[in-house]
Amino acid sequence: MAEPEFRATGVRIGKRLRSLTRAGQVRISDGRLQLLTSYGSEIDSAPVQAVRASKPWFAPDDRALADLNGKRYLLTLGDHDPAPGEPGPPAARRFIEAVRKAAGRGR
């Protein structure tokens, strides 16, 4: 398996008002976006070209929306990138850029 193009741990993943996991993982690898629980079980995945990632209106900077397979997930990542060597999820902005880059849409 190739090195993931994007990886974030400690991500809160929710669907509507329901929290699916508080310490999940988001991974972009081999052209697929995967949402995983803290134990590594797959919540959902889709080809990155079919994923829409955006910033929700009127939400804190640490939130991102991901539309996969007709379902909308709210991801709570970090509000800023962690310092080098420090644990913590990357910023939501970096996730959105990674999805666009992996899909070939650029900025």
Boundaries of domain holding 24: 6-105
What pLDDT band is residue 100 in, cutting at 50, 70 and 90? very high
Which pTM value belongs to this model? 0.85
Evaluate whether residue 31 is within a structural domain: yes
Cα–Cα distance, 36 to 42 (Å, whole number) = 4
Which residue is listed with tokens 């992996």?
102
Q: How many domains does the chain have?
A: 1
The pLDDT value given to residue 87: 66
Express each pLDDT in 34-58 by its tens digit.
Answer: 999 999 999 999 999 999 999 998 8
1 lies in a domain?
A: no
In a domain? residue 33: yes
DSSP β-ladder status, 42-47 and 71-76: unpaired
Output the domain CATH number for residue 20.
2.30.29.30
- In this prediction, residue 45 carries a pLDDT of 97
